[in-house]
């Protein structure tokens, strides 16, 4: 039996008085696609960000490949700066608002980290980046600056930038939330193809349909704990009342939006 790729135990995080994560545990095997859903403020983003220690938990344990951390500040196994860097080079992250570097071209954005951190020769890094950019359909934009790209294109480049490090794990933090509705699809398609290739992924998302169709497991966060977890089927047949209510609200919103869109169309027609 192979050990899990990632395991987290009793992760706790507070911001001042506000306890955002109240002891969250999770084990992820290689190749799994784990969707994390929940209302804003439920702790889901903080949890994702604690996996690559962009938010350092106050306590809890973590194992990732050869790394073992104990986040209690006085612990002997509190991660060193070098260990954190090592973790982050292997766990790629994509953000809601892309955060491409505006002073670099698309290609430079993608090759910067592999050249500097993995010490890949520049020529090889460019070849690999070109292959990635072709794959995401943006090869011809390689010389452009990010400001010339649409949101969906920028987000795809951000994914390519993370993939260029050949990560063992990808973390997606609401990556389609800042996009115009018509641009969401191209990003989801790319993520789905990554998932089908066996990339281990954790994603915080509001795209319930995507979570249902692509993930191998769904976690529902509520008030700093995992309130319900299971196969994607729990999105059709939720057990807990809180997940039922959450799904109902989301579904209701979608219906309201759809009918609003419909009525404006009708208004235009008549």
Partner 1 sequence: MTFVLEEFQLYGPGFLQAAWTVFALTILTIVVSWACGLLAALAQRSRLKSVRAVAGFYIWFIRGTPTLIQIFIIYFGLPQFGIRLSPFTAGVLALGINSGAYIAEIVRGGLTAIPSGQSESALALGFSRSETMRTIILPQVFRIILPAVTNEAISTLKNTSLLSTITVVELTLYAQTLIAATFRPFEFYIAVAVIYLVLTTVLTLLASWLERHYARLS
Provide the binding-site residues for partner 1, judged by CB under 8 A: 52, 54, 81, 85-89, 92-93, 95, 97, 99-103, 112-113, 116-117, 145, 147, 158, 161-162, 165
Measured CA to CA, the distance from residue 127 to residue 113 in angstroms comes to: 14
| Token pair for 47 | 């949890």
Measured CA to CA, the distance from residue 70 to residue 89 in angstroms comes to: 20
Nearest distance from C-beta of residue 133 to partner 1, angstroms: 17
Measured CA to CA, the distance from residue 93 to residue 169 in angstroms comes to: 9
Nearest distance from C-beta of residue 72 to partner 1, angstroms: 20
Going across the sheet that includes 33-38, the strands are 91-94, 169-173, 201-204, 33-38, 217-222, 225-230
Indicate the residue among 9 and 112 with the shorter CB distance to partner 1: 112
| Backbone dihedral angles phi then psi of residue 100, each to the nearest 5 degrees | -70, 155
Indicate the residue among 36 and 158 with the shorter CB distance to partner 1: 158
Indicate the residue among 44 and 161 with the shorter CB distance to partner 1: 161
Nearest distance from C-beta of residue 230 to partner 1, angstroms: 29
Q: How far apart are the first and last CA of the chain?
A: 65
Nearest distance from C-beta of residue 179 to partner 1, angstroms: 16
Indicate the residue among 113 and 227 with the shorter CB distance to partner 1: 113
Nearest distance from C-beta of residue 137 to partner 1, angstroms: 22
Residue 105 in 3-state DSSP?
Answer: coil
CB atoms within 10 A of CB 236: 8
Nearest distance from C-beta of residue 90 to partner 1, angstroms: 8
Q: At a CB cut-off of 8 Å and minimum separation 6, what does 227 contact?
A: 38, 220, 221, 240, 242, 243
Nearest distance from C-beta of residue 191 to partner 1, angstroms: 17
Measured CA to CA, the distance from residue 120 to residue 103 in angstroms comes to: 22
Indicate the residue among 136 and 165 with the shorter CB distance to partner 1: 165
Indicate the residue among 94 and 243 with the shorter CB distance to partner 1: 94
Q: Are 49 and 33 in contact (CB under 8 A)?
A: no
Rg (CA), the chain: 20
Indicate the residue among 82 and 269 with the shorter CB distance to partner 1: 82
């Amino acid at each position: 039996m192979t050990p899990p790729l990632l395991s987290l135990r009793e992760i706790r995080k507070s911001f001042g008085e506000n306890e955002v994560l109240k002891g969250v545990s999770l084990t992820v095997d290689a190749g799994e696609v784990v969707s994390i859903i929940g209302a804003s403020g439920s702790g889901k983003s903080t949890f994702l960000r604690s996996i690559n220690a962009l938010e350092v938990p106050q306590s809890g344990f973590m194992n990732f490949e050869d790394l073992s951390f104990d986040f209690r500040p006085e612990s002997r196994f509190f991660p060193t700066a070098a260990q954190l860097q090592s973790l982050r080079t292997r766990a790629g992250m994509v953000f809601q608002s892309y955060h491409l570097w505006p002073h670099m071209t698309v290609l430079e954005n993608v090759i910067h980290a592999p050249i500097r951190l993995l010490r890949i020769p520049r020529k090889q890094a460019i070849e690999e980046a070109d292959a990635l950019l072709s794959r995401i359909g943006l090869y011809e934009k390689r010389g452009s600056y990010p400001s010339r790209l649409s949101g969906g294109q920028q987000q795809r480049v951000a994914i390519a930038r993370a993939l260029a490090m050949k990560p063992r794990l990808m973390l997606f933090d609401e990556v389609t939330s800042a996009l115009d509705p018509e641009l969401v699809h191209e990003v989801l398609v790319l993520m789905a193809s990554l998932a089908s290739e066996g990339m281990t992924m954790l994603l915080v998302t509001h795209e319930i349909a995507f979570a249902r169709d692509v993930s191998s497991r769904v976690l529902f966060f509520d008030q700093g704990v995992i309130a319900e977890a299971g196969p994607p089927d729990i999105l059709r047949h939720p057990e807990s009342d809180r997940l039922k209510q959450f799904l109902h609200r989301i579904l209701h919103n979608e219906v309201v939006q759809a009918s609003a869109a419909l009525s404006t169309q009708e208004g235009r027609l008549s």
